[in-house]
Structure 1
Amino acid sequence: MLQNEGAGSDEYHGQEIEDPFGPLLCLATGLHVNIMFGSIKDFVNTPELGIFHLLDIPLYHGCVVDPQDATAIGAIGSKSYDDLSSAVVAPDLTPRKRKLFQKIVENKSGLTPYGLSCLRRDVRDGELCVLFHNEHFSTMFKYKGQLYLLATDEAFLDMPNHVWEKLEKVKGGNVYVSSDFKECKMDHVGSMNDATLAVSTNDDIDEQLARSLQEEEFNA
């Protein structure tokens, strides 16, 4: 049986945060949280997690194992995501478990069909929260029963109407809406591709400039 030892447990709320501002220093390099697989609130208790409790920000994830999947539940037990990442390379791991663990660890969306259904069911309408998925933190909002992720990619700088992305499928549907939740027209897709290309081009220019400066410094 999967054990729930996560951020939503009473055990965590009863703990004292010795240095509540210490984890804030991690914001410069990125926060690391470690998920469990029992529920959307299921995280390993870490100092970084204390930031969300300190600021009263709900934190969820969608990588939840279906309780009807007895094979997965038996194999995972009380292991966390980090545990599975380490176990994948263990020489004594059975091929069946290795395949299962790899499927979870290499899941690029960070969501499961059951986990997405739990998010739809358990996140309250009108709730503003944070979704941890694919090693990223996304602002999430539920509006009239639909989940939305805030569009923060640099590619959207020239598309002010693309504010939210609908979270409808595990692999994403790329359906964007405006600030008043009206669906953006498909003719903006070309603009998105142009913006993405511009970002990639700028990255290439920056890389070439950095390489040139390194060569000048080496030859000086």
Structure 2
Amino acid sequence: MATTRASVQTPGRRQRSENKRAAILSAAEALFVSEGYELTSVDAIATRAGVSKRTLYDHFGDKQTLFQVVLTRVTDTLAATVRTAIEQELTEGRDLREGLMAFASRVATEAFPSSEYVTFRRLTSQDRSAPRLPEAVRERPERMLEERFAQLAANGEIRTADPRRAAQHFTALTVLLAVDALRDEPAGAVEESEILAIITDGVDAFLRAYR
């Protein structure tokens, strides 16, 4: 069967299409963060991206789908950062306290203060009109830590029948407290030693409860 001309893309055309898609995503992310979902129009996104509305619709269909793609992209980046920290710090055979300290410190000082996390928080804290991602996608970072804690429990390194709750307790005692300290003070005002002290106290409290 003959292939229609519309379905054929030369390498140059494919690259231009990918460039336009990337420009649309970057423009949409910036506007959704600064203006909010409700106040951001397709016209504004297309103008900022330097493309026509028709091109935007061809790539994404509508504003709702575009918002979900933007949010998924940011979530994927954040999840990849957490996954790397888990794989590199919570390694099998490593001293548990040392591994938990290294993981929490890395997430608190690298992942959560990052522009990706700031964008994630701004996108997910918008009004009810903004589309939401499926729960499985939203909670991917937490699920990855839960899976690692389940392995720790299976290996006898922690005692818990509920790895999800254990992961939530660990995060609350360490990463979230450290992030709160960073958020409440001007940039650079919180000493690294203070963050380390918060995480140390949290890890020790967690181990007293779960070891």
- Which category of TM-score, normalised to the shorter sequence, fits these structures? under 0.3
Considering fraction of residues, name the structure with more strand.
1
Structure possessing the higher radius of gyration over alpha carbons:
2
**Which structure is richer in relative contact order (CA contacts within 8 A, separation 6 or more)?**
2
TM-score by length of 1: 0.25
TM-score by length of 2: 0.26
Considering fraction of residues, name the structure with more helix.
2
